[in-house]
Chain A
Amino acid sequence: MLHSYIGRLLLIYAIALILIMAAVYTFYDDWLEPQVSQLESLVVPECETCTYIELFQEEGLQSLATLLDLRMVKTGHSYAILNNKVVTAGDLQWFHKNIEKIRQKIVTLNGKASNEKKGVMVTLWRDVNAGIAISSIRLDKNNTLYIQEYLRVKSEFVLSADNQQIVGDNIRGITSQIALSGLFLLFLGFIATSVIVGKIYHKLKNINQTADHIIKHQDLSQRILHSGGNNEFDQLARNLNNMLSKIEAKVEDIKHISNSIAHDLRTPLTSLHNKLEQLELDEPIALNLTTKVDNIITTFDSLLRISHLESGNAYIVKQQVDLIPVVEDVLDLFRPLAEEKEQTLIMALGVTSVKVDVNLLFQALGNLLENAIKYAPENSGIIISSIQQNENVVISVQDEGDGIPSNKLEDVIQRFVRLDETRNSPGNGLGLSMVNAISAAHQGSFELNNLSKGFKASIRIPL
C-alpha cells in the first residue's frame, strides 16, 4: 500500500484529517471563546425596560418621558409619551403627522364595534425592538379621543443576566455543532475518497499484476481483464491489450525470421561438415577443417540458444532439485581437466534444494567451472558454493585466478567479448553470456566479483 502513489495520497489525506481534528480539539476553546464574548457583548447588558419601569414607578411619567426623549435622540427610535389626551413626550413630530390617520383608523374600527360602550382601544407599540408599549388611544361614542398613559413590557423580550448566559451557551452550542458537522463531512469525504481510491487502486493493481506476469514469465499471451465497459480503465486495458497483441505478433515475426536465418545458415555449414567427412583427405587436414567448421556451428548454436533464452521463448522446466548430485556431476565432468592443472575442486553447499531447470543449471555451472579451470593458476583451489541470501540462493564458482579489471566486469557478460589482458585463451566469448541468459531465464541475476585473491562468479536465483 505504501509503495503505491495512491496509497501515499490516501495516507496524506488521513494524516491531514487527523491533524485538523487534533487542532480543533486543542484550540477549539481558545478560538471560540472571543467570538462568544463578542456575540454576548452585542446583547444589551442590562434589562432596559426594567429601567423604564423602575423610573416610571419611582419618579413618575415626567422623568420617564425625559429619559425616553434622550434615548430617542440617541438611537433614532420613535417614542411618544401621552398624558390625558395630550402628547407630552416622545416622537412628537411623528405623532402630530399621524394623529389624523390614527383618529380615522380608530373611527373605522369603532364603526365595526358600535355596541361597545367604551369604544375601541388601540395600543401604540412604538418601539417594537425594545418591546415597549407606552400608550393606548381610545375613541368613545361621542367621538372623543382618549389617550391613556400606559407602560407595558413584553416580558419574553426582556434579557435578564441569566438569559445572557443562555444566549452564550446557545452560541457555543451552535458553533460547536457547526465545527462537528464540518469534521463529520471531512470524515465522510475521507471514507468516500478511500472507496474511490480503493477502486482505482484495484483496477491499477490488475493492470500492474498482468504486466508483472508478462515481464516475469515473458508470456506475451497474457491479457488484462476488464469489465467490457467504456470507462477510462477499460479503455486503458483495451489499448494495452491491443498493444500486447501487436507486440506478440512482432515477436512471433522476429522468432520466425531468426529461426529461418539460423536454419538457413547452419544447414550449409553442416553440409560442409558432411562433405568434408566424405572427402578422402589426409587425416590431419581433414580433422583440422572439420574442427573449424564444427566450431562455427557450435558458436552459432550457443548464440541461438542465448537468444532463445533471452527471448523468453525457451521451454524451461523448473523443478525442485537436490543441488548436490548436479554439482557432483559437473565436478565429475571437469575433474580430469582440473587434474591436468593439479587444481582442487571443492564443493561447499549451504543450500541444497533449488528450483531450477536442471539442464540449464548444469550448463551454467559447467561454463563457470570450465572458465575457472582455464584461468586459475596450477595448484590452486576452485570452490563451488551455495548460500541463502534473503529470498535468493546464490550459487558461486570461486577461483584463485587474476580476475577481470573492474571496469570490464559488465562487458564480459556481453556476447563475443573476450579480454585481451588476462582471460584471453581461446573460446567463443559466449560462455558468460549463456550463464547470464540462464540466470535471467530463472528470474535471477548473474554477478562477477574480483576478490582480494581470486575471482568469483555467482548466479543468484529466487528460492
Chain B
Amino acid sequence: MQILLIEDDKTVADFITKGLQQVGHCIVHMSNGKQGLSMAIDNEFDLLIVDRMLPELDGLSIVKALRAIGKNFPIIFLSALADVEERVKGLKAGGDDYLVKPFAFSELLARIEVLAKRVPAIQQTQETLLTFSDLRMDLLKRQVTRGGEVIELLTKEFNLLEQLVRSPGQVFTRTMLLESVWGYHFDTKTNVIDVHISNLRKKIDEGFSSSILQTVRGTGYKVDHHVT
C-alpha cells in the first residue's frame, strides 16, 4: 500500500515508518503541512496519516482541502494532544479515523487494515447478506444462522459480529469495536468489551465443531478460521 505520512515529530514518524515498512507498506514521509498537502495532491496514495498540528498548515486544513478537491482515500488523524474531544472535529473535516498519540503500533495497524479493506459506501448499502464459513448474517432481517441453526443475538452483539464478519481475518482492537459499534469514544479499564465478546462467543461458537471468533493476544479480536 502507498501510504503518505505527514508528521513533524521525528520520533513518531520514524516509529510509524519503520513499523509499516516491516509489514510491507510503502511510506512517504513529509514533515511540513504545506509540502505534505502538495505531495498528497500531486500523487496517488492509498491512505493518508496526518498529524493534527503541523508547521505552516495544520492537519484539519489539509484534510478539508483534500476532500474539497475530491480526494477520497482514507485518512487517519494523529493527535499529540490528549484531545479525544477533537475527534468529532477531525471526523467532520473528512477524516476516517482519529488516533491519539502515543498509540500501540498494533492499534494503528489494525485501523489501517480496516480502512484499506473498506467497502465504498455505495456497495455497502446493496449488501444484505454476510457469510463466513457456515455463518450467515441477514442484515435486512437481522438474523444470524450457523449451519442452518438460527442464533438469537442482542442488538449490540449482532452489530459486533457484523463488524467482525465484514472483514474476516482483520484484527479489531477493543477501542475500535467500542467506537464502531457504540459510536462513542470511551476510556475504560474494565473488560466490558471482553464480556460482550465472550457472550457472543458462547452463542455462535459453543456447540459447533470449529470456533470462528478468535482472540488476538494483547490486541483484540477477529473472525477467522481456527488454526490449530
Are these two chains actual partners, yes or no?
A: yes
For residue B186, which residues in chain A have a CB less than 8 angstroms away from its CB?
333, 362-363, 366
Q: Check B199–A305 contact: CB distance below 8 A.
A: no
Interface bin, chain B: 35 or more
B100 beta carbon closer than 8 Å to chain A: yes
The CA of A334 and the CA of B191, in the complex, are separated in Å by 10
For residue A451, which residues in chain B have a CB less than 8 angstroms away from its CB?
none
A424 beta carbon closer than 8 Å to chain B: no
A254 beta carbon closer than 8 Å to chain B: no
The CA of A336 and the CA of B184, in the complex, are separated in Å by 18
Nearest to B9 among chain A residues (CB) is A263
Q: Check A302–B187 contact: CB distance below 8 A.
A: yes
B85 beta carbon closer than 8 Å to chain A: yes
Q: Check A329–B192 contact: CB distance below 8 A.
A: no
The CA of A158 and the CA of B184, in the complex, are separated in Å by 106
The residues in A between 299 and 320 inclusive whose CB is less than 8 angstroms from any CB of B are: 301-302, 304-305, 308-309, 314-317
Partner of A329, one of B15, B182, B189: B182
Q: Check A317–B88 contact: CB distance below 8 A.
A: yes
Q: How many residues of A contact B (CB 8 A)?
A: 48
Least CB distance from A238 to B in Å reads 33
Nearest to A267 among chain B residues (CB) is B102
Q: Check B156–A332 contact: CB distance below 8 A.
A: yes
Q: With A329-B182, A336-B195 known to touch, is A308 a contact of B104 (CB < 8 Å)?
A: no
Least CB distance from A216 to B in Å reads 18
For residue A329, which residues in chain B have a CB less than 8 angstroms away from its CB?
182-184
The CA of A388 and the CA of B170, in the complex, are separated in Å by 46
Q: Check B85–A274 contact: CB distance below 8 A.
A: no
The CA of A298 and the CA of B187, in the complex, are separated in Å by 8
Contact with B along A140-158 (1 / 0, CB 8 A): 0000000000000000000
Q: Check B85–A259 contact: CB distance below 8 A.
A: no
A–B complex contacts, Cβ < 8 Å, 14 sampled: A259-B82, A274-B106, A283-B217, A286-B217, A286-B218, A290-B218, A301-B100, A316-B85, A317-B88, A332-B154, A359-B85, A363-B187, A370-B188, A434-B187
Interfacial residues, chain B to chain A (CB-CB below 8 A): 11-12, 15, 19, 80-89, 100-106, 154-156, 178, 182-190, 192, 195-196, 199, 217-219
Interfacial residues, chain A to chain B (CB-CB below 8 A): 259, 262-263, 266-267, 269-271, 273-274, 277, 283, 286-287, 290, 294-295, 297-298, 301-302, 304-305, 308-309, 314-317, 329, 332-334, 336-337, 340, 357-360, 362-363, 366, 370, 426-428, 434
| Additional pairs, 17, CB under 8 Å, beyond known A270-B103, A362-B182, A366-B186 | A266-B102, A267-B12, A267-B101, A274-B19, A277-B106, A297-B102, A304-B82, A305-B82, A315-B85, A315-B88, A316-B85, A329-B182, A332-B154, A332-B182, A336-B192, A336-B195, A358-B184
Those 6 A-B pairs whose CB atoms lie nearest each other, nearest first:
A270-B102, A304-B82, A336-B195, A362-B184, A315-B85, A267-B102
